[in-house]
């Protein structure tokens, strides 16, 4: 069943058109990640769905019911705002129980639900008596999520829930949250800037560009075959090269390459991801290492081809590359190419 259905939503602030015909369906129990550049309208969309703002046109339906006339508190939506604010004067217990008062029976039952939620987001029960300022950033984010889940909402909206966390905490919190959402079988709409987050947490990724969703598909599919260059770039780094498409292949400075999806014949822009390039040390190689960045698990190299083209490539971290070293560069698999913009 479709938990959330958005149709042709429009929203402008003054003369600035932010959402220009947004449509999206989210199936019950699934997570959709919205990916888009800063300022493209992600928060605007969540606020319309939550009922905090009004759309200029279009409809929002929850479980098949259009909610234009339904106030936010009656929409059965859990919202974790981009600022993720908890009530500073309330304890963790009181923050999570906020809003449960009438909905969740006796005091003992509410305590039980709070304990269950703390467990769900993997926080120790002893934290219930603390205030937000006595928690780490990651712990605060988890309390905010527990609060959003407390009333067993039909839909949870998460607006960049991990943006304030450092890398290690971010991935631990992300895992805990993903498990909590799965355990409660909640339908989730997650806004993120982070490609890894979008790809790892979601069933579907929805790309918001120029006021509408330009591609909605499972993470793997969208990564392998982005509809356009902007989408390809949003999903991860890559080098663009001028080329010519002809009969299902594209030729460029790297040779004649297979394409992952059809590209019209003629001038094209080729997009090559770092992991699609295989670099091997070779004294007689045609490319030269210009820069090398060790990232722990792998190394990112910038290599220069004889015609001066610079390429970013991912390489084996167990090999120490030095600047100026000669290497060969091969393309692995099919690349994406798009009709060149004139």
Ligand X SMILES: Nc1ncnc2c1ncn2[C@@H]1O[C@H](COP(=O)(O)OP(=O)(O)OP(=O)(O)O)[C@@H](O)[C@H]1O
Residues that bind ligand X (CB under 6 A): 13, 18, 36, 38-44, 82, 193
Task: Choose among Mg ion, ligand X, none what residue 250 binds, the Cβ cut-off being 5 to 8 Å by kind.
Answer: none
Q: Please count the residues of this chain forming the interface with Mg ion, following the rule CB under 5 A.
A: 3
Looking at beta carbons only, is 19 or 340 nearer to Mg ion? 19
SS (H, E, C) 198-225: HHHHCCEEEEEECCEEEEEEEHHHHHHC
Judged by phi (left if over 0) then psi (alpha if -120 to 50, else beta), residue 47 lies in: alpha
Looking at beta carbons only, is 155 or 289 nearer to Mg ion? 155
Task: Choose among ligand X, Mg ion, none what residue 32 binds, the Cβ cut-off being 5 to 8 Å by kind.
Answer: none
Looking at beta carbons only, is 38 or 126 nearer to ligand X? 38
Looking at beta carbons only, is 40 or 272 nearer to ligand X? 40
- For residue 336, give the nearest of 226, 255, 251 by alpha carbon: 226
DSSP 3-state of 57: strand
* 43 lines the binding site for Mg ion (CB under 5 A): yes
Task: Choose among Mg ion, ligand X, none what residue 274 binds, the Cβ cut-off being 5 to 8 Å by kind.
Answer: none
Looking at beta carbons only, is 160 or 204 nearer to ligand X? 160
Pairing relation of β-strands 31-35 and 204-209? parallel
Return the range that interacts with Mg ion (CB under 5 A); candidates 39-47, 133-141, 206-214, 329-337.
39-47
202 alpha carbon, distance to own chain's centre: 8
Nearest residue to Mg ion, by Cβ distance, number only: 43
Looking at beta carbons only, is 67 or 208 nearer to Mg ion? 208
Task: Choose among Mg ion, ligand X, none what residue 13 binds, the Cβ cut-off being 5 to 8 Å by kind.
Answer: ligand X
Q: Which strands make up the sheet holding 16-27, listed edge to edge? A: 16-27, 2-13, 57-62, 65-66
Closest approach, Cβ 158 to ligand X, in A, equals: 12
Residue 119 has phi, psi (to 5 degrees) of -65, -45
Segments in the chain forming alpha helices (H): 42-50, 92-97, 107-120, 137-149, 167-183, 195-201, 219-224, 229-234
The Cα 80–Cα 3 span in angstroms is: 18
Closest approach, Cβ 198 to ligand X, in A, equals: 13
Looking at beta carbons only, is 8 or 298 nearer to ligand X? 8
Task: Choose among Mg ion, ligand X, none what residue 39 binds, the Cβ cut-off being 5 to 8 Å by kind.
Answer: ligand X
Residue 11 has phi, psi (to 5 degrees) of -155, 125
Closest approach, Cβ 160 to ligand X, in A, equals: 7
Task: Choose among ligand X, Mg ion, none what residue 18 binds, the Cβ cut-off being 5 to 8 Å by kind.
Answer: ligand X
The Cα 273–Cα 271 span in angstroms is: 7
Please, which of residues 73-92 interact with Mg ion by CB under 5 A? 82
Closest approach, Cβ 52 to ligand X, in A, equals: 10
The burial class, CB within 10 Å (0-12 / 13-18 / 19+), for 266 is exposed
Task: Choose among Mg ion, ligand X, none what residue 36 binds, the Cβ cut-off being 5 to 8 Å by kind.
Answer: ligand X
Closest approach, Cβ 40 to ligand X, in A, equals: 4
Residue identified by tokens 């890894």 is: 196
Residues that bind Mg ion (CB under 5 A): 42-43, 82
């Amino acid at each position: 069943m479709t938990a959330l259905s958005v149709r042709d939503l429009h929203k402008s602030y003054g003369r600035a058109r932010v959402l220009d015909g947004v449509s999206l369906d989210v199936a019950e129990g699934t997570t959709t990640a919205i990916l888009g550049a800063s300022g493209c309208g992600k928060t605007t969309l969540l606020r319309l769905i939550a009922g905090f703002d009004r759309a200029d046109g279009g409809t929002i339906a929850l479980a098949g019911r259009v909610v234009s006339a339904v106030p936010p508190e009656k929409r059965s939506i859990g919202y974790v705002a981009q600022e993720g604010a908890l009530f500073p004067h309330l304890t963790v217990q009181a923050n999570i129980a906020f809003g449960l008062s009438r909905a969740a029976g006796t005091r003992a039952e509410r305590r039980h639900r709070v304990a269950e939620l703390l467990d769900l987001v993997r926080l120790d029960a002893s934290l219930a008596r603390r205030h937000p300022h006595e928690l780490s950033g990651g712990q605060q984010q988890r309390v905010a999520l527990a609060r959003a889940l407390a009333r067993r909402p039909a839909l949870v909206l998460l607006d960049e829930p991990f943006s304030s966390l450092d890398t290690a905490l971010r991935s631990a919190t992300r895992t805990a949250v993903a498990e909590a959402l799965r355990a409660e079988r909640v339908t989730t709409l997650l806004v993120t800037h982070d490609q890894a987050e979008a790809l790892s947490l979601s069933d579907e990724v929805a790309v918001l560009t120029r006021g509408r969703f330009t591609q909605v598909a499972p993470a793997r599919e969208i990564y392998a075959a982005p509809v356009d260059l902007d989408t390809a770039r949003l999903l991860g780094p890559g080098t663009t090269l001028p080329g010519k498409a002809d009969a299902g292949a594209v030729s460029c400075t790297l040779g004649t390459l297979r394409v992952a999806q059809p590209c019209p014949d003629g001038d094209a822009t080729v997009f090559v991801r770092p992991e699609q390039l295989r670099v091997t040390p070779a004294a007689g190689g045609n490319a030269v290492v210009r820069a090398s960045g060790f990232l722990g698990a792998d190394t990112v190299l910038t290599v220069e081809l004889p015609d001066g083209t610079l390429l970013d490539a991912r390489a084996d971290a167990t090999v120490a590359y030095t600047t100026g070293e000669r290497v060969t560069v091969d393309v692995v698999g099919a690349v994406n190419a798009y009709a060149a913009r004139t």
